[in-house]
Chain A
Amino acid sequence: MRNNAEINALVLTGYGLNCDVETAHACELAGARAVCVHINDVISGAVSLEDFQIMVFIGGFSWGDDHGAGVIQAVRMKKNAGDRIIGFINQGGLVLGICNGFQTLVNFGLLPGMDNDYTARTVALTYNDCGNFRDDWVNLSINAQSPCVFTRGMKNMELPVRHGEGKFIADQKVIDQLIDQNQVVCRYARADGDLAAGGFPANPNGSMADIAGICDPTGRVFGLMPHPEAYNHPANHPDWTRNKHLRRCSSADEKPPLSAAGIRIFENAVTYFRA
């Protein structure tokens, strides 16, 4: 699986997950071959994880998010395919969890995966402090020191959030440890780049330490609440109609043209295998 070989991405579907089409599209834009696979085909073994380099736990409302977002998906996957998924990671595969997928990874224990333990639930994503589902674009500050494979070379990024349960919490000790080990990959920030410091709506959910996404110590398992696959085209950005005119009436470097920046996360995953 080097250089010109095809990089295969498994996009998990079924049971109320719903970001399959755009996540598969994002993988393809990044140069991978994407296959949408039903959860039950992973569990039954009809589809083998060995045929893939990248596995994406996508957004949506698995099992309606009843009993906690991502909880039942995590329980089912852990019970019926847990060893295979941990094996996939240990053999060098990349795992990305977006929104409901992130919630699933933390309930499974794949994140934060401290001390090589991929089964312990030590962090949680719970109800937004604002008390409601919220759709808005956020600014993310990306930790360049993080081992995260998916965010290499990135400093900041704007992405949409769309969730009711995205508040990241854990014991302060765990938070400190995540920060120390650079497992905190991205944090909510203000438009000027400074961290949100808990301020709403820059931090849309009240996450501790403005945490929007974390990785495991290897950097190969990454989960985040914002949706990189929903920024797959410059026109997804809320400023795109303004941007082309603002470039007319402000200096060129002030308003660089927009790109489909969310795709870089997927490109980094593909590049990781091609490098």
Chain B
Amino acid sequence: MPHRLEIALKNELFDAEGAAVAGKADAYFGIRVQDVRAVHIVTLDADLSPEQLETVRNEIFTNPVTQVSSFAPLDLGFDWCIWVGYRPGVKDTPGQTAIEAMEDVLGIRLAEGEGVFTSKRFCIRGPEISQDDAQCIAEQLLANEIIQQVRIFSRHDWDPENGVGIIIPKVRLDHKPTVTPVSVDSDAVLQQISDARNLALNVNDIPVIRQYFLDSEVRAQRRAIGLDDPTDVELEYISQGRSDHCNHNTFQGRFHYRDLSTGETETIDNLFKTCIQEPTRQLQAQKDWVISVLWDNAGVGRFDRDHYYVITGETHNSPSNMEAYGGAITGIVGVYRDPLGTGKGARLIMGSYGFCTGDRDYDGELKPRLHPRRLLDGIIEGVRDGGNKSGIPTPFGQVTFDHGYMGKCLVFVTALGMMPATVAGTPSEEKTTAAGELIVMCGGRVGKDGIHGVTASSEIFTENTPAGHVQIGDPYTQKKMHDFLLQARDEGLIRFVTDNGGGGLSSSVGETARFSGGCEVWLDRVPLKYEGLDQWEIWVSESQERMTVSVRPEDEDRFMALSEKHAVESTVIGKYTDSGKLHITYDGVTCAYVDMDFLTRGFPQWEFDAEWRSPEMRGLYEPVMGAPRDYNRLLTDLLARPNICSREWIIRQYDHEVQGTSVIKPLEGADRDVNSDASVIRPVLTSEQGLAFSQALLPFYSAIDAFHMTACTIDEAVRRLVAVGGDPEHIGGVDNFCWPNIQYDPVRNPDGRFKAAQLVRSCRALAETCGVYGIPLLSGKDSMYVDGHLAGAYGETHKLSAPETMQFSAVSVVKDIASCVTLDIKCPGDVVYVLGVTKDELGASEYYDRFGYTGCNVPVVDARKHWLLYKDLHAAMEKNLAASVHGIYRGGLGVHLAMCAMAGNLGIRADIGKAPGAEGLRADHLLFSETPGRFVVSVAPESREDFASMMKDHALACIGEVTKAPRLDLSCGAESLVSVPVADLKASWKAPFGQLV
């Protein structure tokens, strides 16, 4: 008989969870709520005696100091009560941990079919709250219908005896697992099946697939083991393997590029190969610190003789757009499995985030599935719980708002790990599988969650996108697995390890079996969350927190014993072979038998037409604007713009000091409240060497030219590293492309060719800029189809495409962290330098955007020149000649002088007319141009000569000094521009999100 336990804080205690709901109801919807109390519900679907129930109630579920609880509904009183619980099959981690605790305390095992489920109800008081208001709070604040169910009770229809009733979200499938053969009679039939089953097969792939299964030799081999037409297991495998997400068909495509302004044409065969792979290979040959690139789950660089660092970046856009919290936590927890699955396994040492959404305060006519504010709240919380509960610091992150992200938000997640150079006497970065080794699946169990996640992200989001792929990551289960696998690694038990991410076993086993040359998989052995999954579902399910490991048969016992100690489930689900075949059985019957090399042979390259029209051809020009007069108000207002202002509320929710490695924190300065240029950690606690990390994201410039967007983004990431003390001779990069659909269609994607040209130009800039800066691309990913169709005021729909976006992550070593520098000015009397030339480059700047202009003069990176400057600045910083260093980024010199002053809580008096390049530039252009390659540096008077002499080959000028009076005083020659107390600047900079915690 099921029991429902209700738990609440004692009445006299402040309910922070309830207060947060009340605050949001008012702030977001103007609903006046007096009070909200949260009731936590544990539904025990188990046969327990009254004594057992009391034991678990008292010992596990009720804190005697703070809580009250009862198996009858608690009498809390409300105007509205909203119950929120998970839908069947959605991950309920607290339910699982409750079972662990109950079994231990009671000394029992729950029987098959018994379970524990958690839910909540919120008791809301407020006499003015209408039924519609309650509905709004339920749907817009408390629950997402994709994963949760809701019940709303008014005071009048509440039954104090029954309360919310007993709701048990157990999955019951009542389905016998079935393998279905699929007809390959004609291309049309296969296309229909692809559409009906959501396989997202590419039109050009269909004939190749048919040809294979119709081949007489293949048919004969298949008949011999009892197979005829392809099975659904096989087609799902092919669909996963050929998806754009797994196979990067776009980047490996053939681009027919035409520059319409010059008439020149060119064919680029494979952007990945020409712009990423080959340049990185060349750099790898020159740089001995590049240990492993371009094949594993993440790239590997040398930290010191005994340690390698591991880095990769990912996005989780489509799932986050549907279910922000679940999508984001699954994204961060998922990317953490990549370093864990790199080489023989790396320990996670840090993570970072990049969020792109529509305007947080959007109040226009379009109706996105989730309002940007709610979306952002959800993804912030998802990455927070995923990172914090994994025990991995999150010392860097960025948030960018743009209307284009209303169609689909972007959630970038980056992970770094560390592994010893050798593991059990062998190089840690090397691994392979061999015939006879066991295929072991570790971690979570398999359910229907996540099925078709890969193919869904290869399509544009529409009203029909299946919601079944939304999941909720579980950092607890994964942390246990992380600890277990690292111990197994150190004991030499791991031959190969990889993550079960997109595509599930289909991808992980399919890819690892290529090394040995085949595999046999026994699908009936795979542990399931519930019975009734079809074989193909087991094979492609993306249920999270799983790794696939190759273990020698002689190590099986030790591996399993360790697994048990760490409370991790591990199961042998097959073995590697050298048969050349992927061979899958279920209860001894073959359900898939495919040549291992099938996915890598004979598929046609995707083709794209790319047409470049220059900004001038597109009618872009510089706006006709007279110079402003009120610079004080202008600068103060610019600081409050969404893409400039303080985001402290997000940063402080993220644990950035766990592991005890923090050196340069995300917030620095006298009040510890201004963003640092980059983060530095000391990942080996016994060493004085640091690892610097930064990211940049500048999608705005794509409005003019994605080539310069890309070059500027890379330059900013590099400059951020240099600013804190990173070594420019050792910079590893990670490129993460998020691009709208580039396949031309006259009706659905009329500007597809232009977007394709933008991609070509972006990739070229990537290769060129990284070439000059000497940055091998240690890792990278692409996520295409960042478009959405949103309903408008009249039920019509509008396609919104995100701006062409590339996030660039950069990592560097710091030989001695003692030379690290922060941006805050520190001592009155220090002199202030500007390094680098300012040009008339306000195209797509924050300043122009303030007035609704795009302009045409996009910032241009002069990589060769910048590179020499960065090296000399680094040398000066190693000699401790700089008191503060800060790059000049979005918003320009004016905004970033303000940042240095706000961080130091001191003043700056300067004549910006002295800055390099100032001649002939109007004051507002000088203040707000976003020319790359520049820094603000403050130097102690006694170091001034040494500094100037070390930087003598570069454009630099002393423009003023640090003042004790905290005031920003900027002039341009004789003309006074800005004179504002730094406190006023800071107040404005903090105002937009300052009320958020």
Q: Which of A75, A230, A249 contacts B829 (CB 8 A)?
A: A249
B17 touches A121 (CB 8 A): no
A151 proximal to B (CB < 8 A): no
Residue among B66, B389, B661 making CB contact with A124, cutoff 8 Å: B66
CB distance from B36 to the nearest CB of A (A): 12
Q: In the complex, A18→B661 CA distance in Å? A: 13
Q: Which residues of A contact B589 (CB under 8 A)?
A: none
The yes or no answer to A72 lying at the interface (CB within 8 A) is yes
Distance between B468 CB and nearest chain A CB, rounded to angstroms? 24
Binds A, one of B98-106, B437-445, B512-520, B572-580: B98-106
A251: CB under 8 A from chain B? no
A71-B63 in contact given A14-B566, A22-B661, A132-B997 (Cβ < 8 Å): yes
| Docked complex Cα distance between A190 and B126 (Å) | 37
Q: Are A235 and B682 in contact (CB under 8 A)?
A: yes
Chain A's closest residue to B104 (CB) is A76
The stretch of B238-246, B454-462, B758-766, B818-826 in contact with A is B818-826
The reply to whether B101 and A236 contact each other, CB–CB distance below 8 Å, is no
> Are A18 and B391 neighbours in the complex by a CB distance under 8 Å?
yes
* Contact of B686 with A by CB under 8 A: yes
- Report B655-668 CB contacts with A as 1/0, cut-off 8 Å: 11111111111001
**Do B657 and A127 have beta carbons less than 8 Å apart?**
no
Q: Which B residue's beta carbon lies closest to that of A18?
A: B391
Closest to B21 in A: A131
Point out the residues of chain B lying under 8 angstroms from A246, CB to CB: 826-827
Q: Given A126-B63, A129-B14, A232-B685, check contact A66 B480 (CB 8 Å).
A: no
Chain B's nearest CB lies how many Å from the CB of A29? 9
Report which residue of B14, B475, B651, B669 has the largest number of chain A beta carbons within 10 angstroms of its beta carbon.
Answer: B14
Q: How many A-B residue pairs have CB under 8 A?
A: 201
Digit string of A111-134 for contact with B (CB within 8 Å is 1, else 0)? 000000000011110111111111
A258 at the interface (CB under 8 A from B): no
Q: A67-B98, A132-B653, A238-B665 are in contact. Are A126 and B66 (CB under 8 A)?
A: yes
Q: Is A137 an interface residue (CB 8 A)?
A: yes
Return chain B residues, CB-CB under 8 Å to A136: 652, 672
Residues of B within 8 Å of A123, CB to CB, are 65
In angstroms, Cα B391 to Cα A227, docked, is: 13
**Is A227 within 8 A of B822, CB to CB?**
no
Question: Min CB distance, B925 to chain A, in Å?
Answer: 33
- Tell me if B480 and A16 are in contact (CB < 8 A): yes
Give chain A residues whose Cβ lies under 8 Å from the Cβ of B827: 245-246, 248-249
Mask: chain B, 49-70; 1 = CB below 8 Å from A; 0 = not: 0000000000111011110000
Q: Please, which residue of chain B has its CB at the minimum distance from the CB of A29? A: B685
Q: Identify the interface centre among A38, A128, A242: most chain B CB within 10 Å of its CB.
A: A242
Q: In chain A, what residue has the closest Cβ to B101? A: A72
B65, B483, B656, B686: most-surrounded residue (chain A CB, <10 A): B65
Cross-chain contact A15 with B16 (CB below 8 angstroms): no
Do most interface residues of chain B lie in helix, strand or loop, or is the interface mixed? loop
The interface residues of chain B lying within 8 Å CB-to-CB of A107 are 63
Are the C-beta atoms of B660 and A229 separated by less than 8 Å?
yes
- In the complex, the answer to whether B670 meets A242 with C-beta atoms within 8 Å is yes
Q: Is B886 an interface residue (CB 8 A)?
A: no
- A176 part of interface (Cβ distance < 8 Å): no
Closest-by-CB residue of B relative to A137 is B672
* Alpha-carbon separation in the docked complex, A64 to B97 (Å): 8
Bound CA span A166–B682, Å: 27
A169 in the interface (beta carbon within 8 A): yes
A162 interface residue (CB < 8 Å to B)? yes
Q: B658 touches which one: A67, A129, A162, A249 (CB < 8 A)? A: A162
* Interface mask (B9-32 → A, CB under 8 Å = 1, otherwise 0): 100011011011000000000000
With both chains docked as a complex, state the minimum distance between the C-beta of A257 and any C-beta of chain B, in angstroms.
12
Interface residues on A, range: 35 or more
Q: In this complex, what residue of A is CB-closest to B385?
A: A133
Asked if A61 and B389 sit within 8 Å, CB to CB, the answer is yes
Identify which of B93, B391, B821 contacts A241 (C-beta below 8 A).
B821
Cα separation A19 to B479 with both chains bound (whole Å):
12
With a cutoff of 8 Å between Cβ atoms, the chain B residues found around residue A241 in the complex are 664, 668, 820-822, 824
- Does B476 interact with chain A (Cβ within 8 Å)? yes
A196 at interface by CB-CB < 8 Å:
no
Q: Would you give the shortest CB distance from B795 to chain A, in whole angstroms?
A: 38
Flag if B16 contacts A128 (CB, 8 Å). Answer: yes
Residues of B within 8 A of A72 (CB): 60, 97, 100-101
Contact with A along B365-391 (1 / 0, CB 8 A): 000000000000000000010001111
Interface size of B by Cβ–Cβ distance < 8 Å?
74
Inter-subunit contact A242/B653 (CB<8 Å): no
A83 at the interface (CB under 8 A from B): no
Confirm or deny: A206 has a beta carbon within 8 angstroms of a beta carbon on chain B.
Answer: yes
Digit string of B541-571 for contact with A (CB within 8 Å is 1, else 0)?
Answer: 0000000000000000000000001110000
**B206 → A minimal CB distance (Å):** 45
Are B389 and A230 touching (Cβ within 8 A)?
A: no
Query: Does A154 sit within 8 A of B, measured CB to CB?
Result: no
Q: How far is the CB of B899 from chain A (nearest CB, A)?
A: 15
Q: Mark A52-75, 1 if CB is under 8 A from B, else 0.
A: 000000011101111110011001
Query: Contact: A169 with B66, CB < 8 Å?
Result: yes
Q: A246–B669 Cα gap in the complex (Å)?
A: 12
Query: Do the beta carbons of A67 and B655 come within 8 Å of each other?
Result: no
A66→B94 contact, CB < 8 A:
yes
Interface string of A259-273 (1 = CB under 8 A from B): 000000000000000
Residue A135 interfacial (CB < 8 Å): yes
Query: Which of A21, A121, A162, A206 makes the CB contact (< 8 A) with B65?
Result: A121
Q: Is B883 an interface residue (CB 8 A)?
A: yes
Is residue A80 within 8 Å, beta carbon to beta carbon, of the partner chain? yes
Chain B residues within an 8 Å CB radius of A133: 384, 388, 653-655
Contact across chains for A18 and B658 when beta carbons are under 8 A apart: yes
A182 → chain B, closest Cβ, in Å?
Answer: 21
Residues on B with C-beta less than 8 A from A233 are 660, 682, 685
B9 to chain A, nearest CB (A): 7
Q: Using an 8 Å CB-CB cutoff, how does the interface string of A7-40 with B read, 1 for contact, 0 for none?
A: 0000001111111011001100000000000101
Q: Is B828 part of the contact surface with A, judged by Cβ < 8 Å?
A: yes
CB of B398, distance to nearest CB on chain A (Å): 17
Task: List the A side residues contacting B483 at CB < 8 Å.
Answer: 13-14
> Which residues of A are found within 8 Å of B657, using beta-carbon distances?
135, 160, 162, 227, 230, 236
The CA of A248 and the CA of B943, in the complex, are separated in Å by 12
Q: Is B908 an interface residue (CB 8 A)?
A: no
- Bound complex: CA of A128 vs CA of B16, how far in Å? 7
Tell me, yes or no, whether A79 is within 8 Å of chain B by CB.
yes
Assess whether A41 is interfacial by the CB under 8 Å rule.
yes
Query: Which residue of the partner chain A has the closest CB to B962?
Result: A249
Given A136-B652, A232-B660, answer yes or no on A79-B105 (Cβ-Cβ < 8 Å).
yes
Tell me if A242 and B104 are in contact (CB < 8 A): no
With a cutoff of 8 Å between Cβ atoms, the chain B residues found around residue A130 in the complex are 16, 997
Question: Does B940 sit at the interface, judged by CB under 8 A?
Answer: yes
B333, CB-defined interface residue at 8 Å: no
* Alpha-carbon distance between A173 and B60 when the two chains are bound, in angstroms: 25
CA distance in complex: A13, B93 (Å): 20
- Chain A's closest residue to B478 (CB) is A16
Among B13, B20, B101, B670, which residue has its beta carbon within 8 angstroms of that of A76?
A: B101
A75-B105, A79-B104, A246-B827 in contact; A25/B476 too (CB < 8 A)? no
State the CA gap A38–B479 with chains docked (Å). Answer: 13
Set of chain B residues within 8 Å of A25, measured between Cβ atoms? 660, 685-686
B216-236 CB contact bits vs A (8 Å, 1 = yes)? 000000000000000000000
B834 at the interface (CB under 8 A from A): no
Q: Which 8 A-B pairs have the closest CB atoms?
A: A18-B391, A22-B660, A64-B476, A249-B827, A124-B65, A66-B94, A245-B826, A131-B16
Extra A-B contacts (20), CB below 8 Å, given A232-B685, A241-B668: A14-B567, A15-B480, A16-B389, A18-B659, A19-B391, A19-B659, A22-B661, A25-B686, A63-B97, A64-B475, A68-B63, A132-B20, A134-B652, A134-B997, A135-B654, A162-B657, A162-B658, A169-B13, A231-B660, A245-B827
The 5 listed contacts between A and B (C-beta, < 8 Å) are A21-B660, A63-B97, A72-B97, A160-B657, A233-B685
